[in-house]
């Protein structure tokens, strides 16, 4: 079992492992910039060793690299009221950032 962590960004929580990619809400930065997540909620070294924050772990950081900035799929929102010929159609595309998790760094204190 590889070590993993649970981070919080954009009001959501993500389970991450070293070497994997995740898609999160937009984070400011350019491609190939390094982002540090200090809001780590849980860190598991192996099956027997798990560190749980209350609410955060102060000595664990997750380093990630921005690989892509872009938009997600288009969502179509339709409103309809019967018997009144009222129809509205609206579209929305969320701005997203794709991250590559480089390292889960633990500061031994």
> Which secondary structure element, helix H or strand E, spans residue 52, and what is its range?
strand 50-52
Each residue of 60-95: pLDDT tens digit?
A: 999 999 999 999 999 999 999 999 999 999 999 999
Please check whether residue 99 is in contact with residue 37, taking contact to mean a CB–CB distance below 8 angstroms: no
The Cα–Cα gap between 56 and 23 comes to 22
Give mean pLDDT, residues 9-14.
95
Q: Which residues pair with 92 in a beta bridge?
A: 75
pLDDT bin (cut points 50, 70, 90) of residue 109 is low
User: What does DSSP assign to residue 84?
Assistant: T
Residue 15: alpha-carbon gap to chain centroid: 8
Q: Is 31 left (phi over 0), alpha (psi -120 to 50) or beta?
A: beta
Whole-number pLDDT of residue 93? 97
Whole-number pLDDT of residue 1? 83
Q: For the whole model, what pTM was predicted?
A: 0.85
Could you state, in order of their start, the residue ranges of all structural domains in the chain? 4-106
Sheet containing 50-52, strands listed edge to edge, beginning at the edge strand earlier in sequence: 12-17, 4-9, 40-44, 50-52
């Amino acid at each position: 079992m590889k070590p993993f962590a649970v981070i919080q960004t954009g009001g959501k929580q993500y389970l991450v492992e070293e070497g994997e990619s995740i898609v999160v809400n937009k984070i400011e930065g350019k491609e190939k910039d390094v982002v540090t997540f200090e809001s780590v909620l849980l860190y598991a070294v192996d099956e027997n060793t798990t560190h749980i924050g209350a609410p955060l772990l102060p000595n664990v950081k997750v380093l990630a690299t921005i690989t892509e900035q872009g938009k997600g799929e288009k969502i179509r929102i339709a409103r309809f009221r019967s018997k009144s010929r009222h129809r509205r159609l609206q579209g929305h595309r969320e701005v997203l950032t794709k991250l590559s998790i480089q390292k889960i760094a633990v500061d031994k204190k």
